[in-house]
Chain A
Amino acid sequence: MPILSAGQRHKITVTLNGEERTGHAEPRMLLSDFLRHELGATGTHVGCEHGVCGACTIKLDGQPTRSCLTLAVQVDGSQLETVEGLGASDGSLGVLQDCFRRHFALQCGFCTAGILMSLDTYLRDQPNAGEDDLRALLSGHICRCTGYTPIIAAALEAAEILRARELQPEQRGPDV
């Protein structure tokens, strides 16, 4: 690969929530800014820009990632998932989002997109996560509204629903 020079914008192609998208970025452009300003995906929020607050957390090739600690030029060819991809195509909420709504797990909503992306990955990998695991995970996010308790309640309920869904095909048995 040649050196990408500082003053030039370079073409970056990613798969964002299943859709191929292209934008341009100087080497110094953060992935969080690339998503928001180049691709118009403003669901990902930007808080501290040094990896502490967690608001900008997305999924990069399936792993939770701080988009403010990643450069746009690093993700050329990668799979990105952001909060925009959590709901269904008809606009209805995903399981986790719906639980957040029911449990009042958000107020101002600034931290929510990042927390949803962290939890979405975590519940995929750890379907039996308990409260302690979830609290440790949430230490990677700052929420100044909720006091975290409703977030934990929402996540536990979402885990339960997701587990039940996983079991369904076996429970249904064969169609006779």
Chain B
Amino acid sequence: MKPPPFDYIRPNTLAEGLELIGKYGADARILAGGQSLIAMLNMRVAAPKLLIDINGLTDEAYIRDDGDAIAIGCATRQAVLERWPTLAQRLPLIAKALPYVGHAQTRSRGTVCGSIAHADPSSELPLCLALLDGQVVLRNRRRSRTVPARDFFSGVLQTTRLDDEMITEIRLPVPPGNTGAAFNEMAIRHGDFAIIAVGALVDTTHVRVAIGGGDDFPVVKRLPLSGEAALQEALNDLAWSLDCQDDLHATATYRRHLIRVLGQRTIEEAIACRS
């Protein structure tokens, strides 16, 4: 349970960091908060030759309100976003989901972008990014590209980030004022990996519901709000459409059950807090 050997460097600027990831590519990993990566190193799931520690990039630790979206830099810690004074007003979904992200003791160091880069199928922030239809800004030495969440996650712990790229920012669209948001998850212990996580955004006619833990990455579905029976039917179809798996924590059957029950509950909560 100790990491394999690796070289280490701590760039002082984003340009330096991009030079390094450009030069070392797949041999290197970006170390942000380390709350997933160091655990993976300790378990020897990952064995990079070089760690590029971006904790020195203080200019990238920002939360910027662009009006229609909130931009979050790659060095912004989850605890900082959690304490951002207008979070509940601007991004109520994130305000509701963040307390489920790890524990206070890991959010203090874990970054928002790092959690998205890690792309765990059951983790909360990738689910929120997908549900909000957010974007990931990827940069290499020469250019920057903006990828919508639906094109970013490609499998379990897999994304479409290229080897010479680094996530420099994510953008979370601010939903219209009359949107209701809710988030729930079932885990063995509060803050542990979700067996199933559900987020919902409702407007006057439809609900966007996102499921984490049911498939290789978060799945988002838009459903009409046309009565309880129709919604239950739609959630049942959604549950069966996912590739739910048995594991140590839960059976696939239980996961589908949670999608139906927690899905219903989350949508009802989102409707109730619609303004």
Contact A69 B6 (CB under 8 A): no
B42 at the interface (CB under 8 A from A): yes
Interface magnitude class on chain B: 35 or more
Interface size class of A (residues with CB under 8 A): 35 or more
Q: Is A146 an interface residue (CB 8 A)?
A: no
A63: Cβ under 8 A from any B Cβ: yes
Q: Do residues A3 and B104 form an inter-chain contact, with CB atoms below 8 A? A: no
Determine which of B5, B31, B106 lies in contact with A140 in the assembled complex, contact meaning CB atoms within 8 Å. Answer: B106
Contact with B along A60-74 (1 / 0, CB 8 A): 100111101111011
Chain A residue at smallest Cβ distance from B53: A74
Distance between A55 CB and nearest chain B CB, rounded to angstroms: 11
SS class of chain B's interface: helix, strand, loop or mixed? Answer: loop
**Contact assessment for B191 and A140 in the assembled complex, using a CB-CB cutoff below 8 Å:** yes
Q: For the complex, what is the distance from the CA of A97 to the CA of B69, rounded to whole Å?
A: 46
Among B5, B50, B103, B189, find the residue whose CB has the most chain A CB atoms closer than 10 A: B103
Please, which residues of chain A bring their CB within 8 A of the CB of B31? Answer: 71, 74
Name B10's contact: one of A1, A30, A68 (CB within 8 Å): A1
Please indicate which of the listed interface residues B3, B7, B9, B108 has the most CB atoms of chain A within 10 Å of its own CB. B108
Q: How distant is the Cα of A163 from the Cα of B3 in the complex, in angstroms?
A: 42
Residues in B neighbouring A26, C-beta threshold 8 A: 5
**Residue B8 interfacial (CB < 8 Å):** yes
Cα of A137 to Cα of B104 in the assembled complex, Å: 6
Q: Which of B10, B79, B190 contacts A139 (CB 8 A)?
A: B190
Binds A, one of B33-41, B57-65, B227-235: B33-41
Known contacts A69-B109, A137-B104, A139-B103; A50 and B2 CB within 8 A of each other? no
Instruction: Determine whether the beta carbon of A3 is less than 8 Å from that of B6.
Output: no
A residues with a Cβ closer than 8 A to B are: 1-7, 26-28, 30, 33, 48-52, 54, 57, 60, 63-66, 68-71, 73-74, 118, 122, 136-137, 139-141
Known: A28-B2, A66-B35. 4 other contacts (CB 8 A): A3-B9, A30-B42, A68-B38, A70-B109
17 inter-chain pairs at a CB distance below 8 angstroms, sorted by A residue, are A7-B5, A28-B4, A30-B38, A33-B2, A49-B1, A49-B2, A63-B109, A64-B108, A66-B35, A66-B109, A69-B39, A69-B42, A69-B106, A74-B31, A74-B34, A139-B191, A140-B105
